[in-house]
Amino acid sequence: MSKSDLWLELSSNLSTTGALTFSSKALVNKMLSYTDIEKANLIVELGGGDGSITQGISDRLSPNAELLVFEINRSFCDAMEKQFPMSNVRIICDSAENLEQYLNGRKVDYVLSSLPFSLISKEATDQILIHSKNSLNGKGKFIQICYSFLLKKLFGKYFPNVETKFTIRNLPPAFVMICN
């Protein structure tokens, strides 16, 4: 899928993508700076989109680690399957609400999300955040990219520690929330 096709898909599905543009490399690097991906065994990405974050993760991913990428948009999934043919990167065309079904009891080092929680129903948000929290190992982190500082209160309902960072090197500027 070409970049122009991805842009068309992004803009025509604003209610599920929740963004007008893809995450900048600077934002991806900022998000990943709060991880130690190189030493992780299992990573989950929620909302793979065009693969911007997936690329940043896979560039740092140990060959023995596994990355599960959840995305509900079939066009994005098809494009990412072509972009990331590695055996340790699994593109899952399903809702993040079903996260636990794919873990088989395994614990996750990082859940990295760009889901548009402002646009997701309360019921789905509850399921996603509960499953994300429960899936983390003892030192695991849930890290979210978002465009509203007000979401810190939402994440605080599920995680006792929520640290907020900000970057202007994205359009629009964005917050990175590190939760554990």
User: Which positions ≥6 away from 38 have C-beta within 8 Å?
Assistant: 60, 61, 62
The Cα-based distances of 53 to 56, 70, 93 in angstroms read: 5, 12, 16
Q: What is the pTM assigned to this prediction?
A: 0.89
Distance CA 73, CA 87 (A): 21
Q: What token pair was written down for 34?
A: 């709060």
Phi/psi of residue 145, nearest 5 degrees: -95, 130
2 touches 42 (CB < 8 A): no
Question: Does pLDDT of 7 surpass 80?
Answer: no
What integer best gives the mean pLDDT of the chain?
Answer: 91
Q: Would you mind telling me the total number of residues written for the chain in this entry? A: 180
Range of the domain at 89: 3-179
What is the band of 22 on the pLDDT scale with cuts at 50, 70, 90? confident
What is the band of 91 on the pLDDT scale with cuts at 50, 70, 90? very high
pLDDT, tens only, 106-144: 999 999 999 999 999 999 999 999 999 999 999 999 999
Question: Does pLDDT of 14 surpass 90?
Answer: no
Count of structural domains within the chain: 1
DSSP state of 37: G
Domain CATH number, residue 65:
3.40.50.150
DSSP state of 156: H
What letters, b where the CB count within 10 A reaches 16 and e where it falls short, cover 124-137?
ebebbbebbbebbe
